[in-house]
Amino acid sequence: MKKKVLLMGASGSGKTSMRSMIFSNNPASLTSRLGATIDVEQNHVRFLGDLILNLWDCGGQDAFMDSYLSTQRSIIFSHVGVMIYVFDVESREMEKDLEYYRDCLEGLSQFSKDANVFLLVHKIDLVRDTERNAVVQRKTAELEKASGETPVKVFGTSIYDESLYKAWSNIVNTLIPNARNLSKHLRIFAEACSATEVILFERTTFLVIATSSRTDSSDAFPSGPVVLHALDPKRYERTSELIKAFKQSCSRLREEFRSLEMELAEFTAVLDEMTKNTYVLVVVHDPVIETAAIKMNICMARKKFEELQGDSLILEK
């Protein structure tokens, strides 16, 4: 199953760097070597095995933008599942950016009415910590206004911290047909393991696919044992970031990260392969439970999850 993802925004706003970090597993430090994107770069990214993301990274220089909006209009804006528009937080040409954005939104509504729209206020690391929230809120208001009738979701992001993973996990979630069903099964699995929480990650990107605590794919209120333990709300994206960084460290030694088990003072956890495309993190707060028991449970649940993934994607076609 293919889903087309449009990545647009002004030249130098960070689209290609983002893509390189999330999908090509390059560390943030290497993104400085990327050059300007010429016209559209199309990438096919395999996600969760059967889902193929057709990523259209559209070069942001004015000449290209003008061409997308005119001669290439129908090619660019047809069959789009998600449009991601990137704004550089330090842009000195906000008016021009907004104008192009509005034009793109028009093109989108013309050819792909049902596409989801995500707006990223990028390079947020350039804003001082204390002002970040205020800046994101202000930009959100501005962008929502510019979007008119179209419902949009705005995120503040940076390739230097976990915010990028949060935004992209959200984006990818809208593309996975059965996130809710997966959540339900994760909850059953969590109960069987006496776990506080179980999180499913995609293997290569380590974006969060589903968790045992969300009741639906958007930022709904968590339920169950998670509320009891009042865990850090940023844990999902922080985990993605930490594991991704560690995987990169391992690859520098020509080793490949495989699994992790921890028995720390605060909790016990196991991070292991679930299916050939997913990893699972099981977090337990009961000190009596051994990591070996958790690993055995994961082993026994594997088949069920392979089934779940296979079935759901076929049904959606």
Partner 1 sequence: MSSSSSAAISNGTIHRTKILFLGMRRSGKTSMLQVLFDDLPVKQTFYLEPTMRVAKHFIDTVIPLEIWDCPGNVTVDTLGASLADFSTIVFVIDIRDLYQHPVSKLVEFIVATCQINPDIHFEVFVHKAERLQEDDKIENFRQIHERVMDRLVDESPEFEQFPLNFHLTSIYDHSLREAFSRVLHKLIDSLPYLEELLNVFCSNTASPKAFLFDTSSKIHVATDTSPVDQATHNLCCDYLSMLNSFGPLYKSNSNDPRTSRVSPTPAPTPPPTATTSTPTSSTTPAGTPPLSSSSSPVPPSKPHFYPSAATSLSPSRPGTTLTYHLVTPHLALLALLPTTVYDMRRGLVEWNVVWFREGVREIWESGLRGVLES
Residues contributing to the site for partner 1 (CB under 8 A): 125, 160, 196-197, 228-232, 234-235, 238-239, 242-243, 245-246, 249-250, 252-253, 255-267, 269, 283, 285-288
DSSP-assigned letter for residue 68: H
Q: Determine the length of the chain.
A: 317
Q: Which of 19/166 has CB closer to partner 1?
A: 166
In the bound complex, what is the minimum distance in angstroms from residue 294's beta carbon to partner 1?
Answer: 13
* Terminal C-alpha separation, the chain: 7
Q: Which of 114/256 has CB closer to partner 1?
A: 256
Q: Which of 57/162 has CB closer to partner 1?
A: 162
Q: Which of 73/247 has CB closer to partner 1?
A: 247
In the bound complex, what is the minimum distance in angstroms from residue 285's beta carbon to partner 1?
Answer: 5
In the bound complex, what is the minimum distance in angstroms from residue 290's beta carbon to partner 1?
Answer: 11
Query: Can you read off the two tokens belonging to residue 3?
Result: 């889903």
In the bound complex, what is the minimum distance in angstroms from residue 48's beta carbon to partner 1?
Answer: 20
Query: Can you read off the two tokens belonging to residue 149?
Result: 């009738």
Helix H or strand E encompassing 270: strand 268-273
* Phi, psi of 120, rounded to the nearest 5 degrees: -110, 125
In the bound complex, what is the minimum distance in angstroms from residue 52's beta carbon to partner 1?
Answer: 25
Q: Which of 287/310 has CB closer to partner 1?
A: 287
Question: What whole-number distance in Å separates Cα of residue 193 and Cα of residue 41?
Answer: 44
Q: In what order do the strands lie in the sheet with 80-88?
A: 40-47, 51-58, 2-9, 80-88, 116-122, 152-156
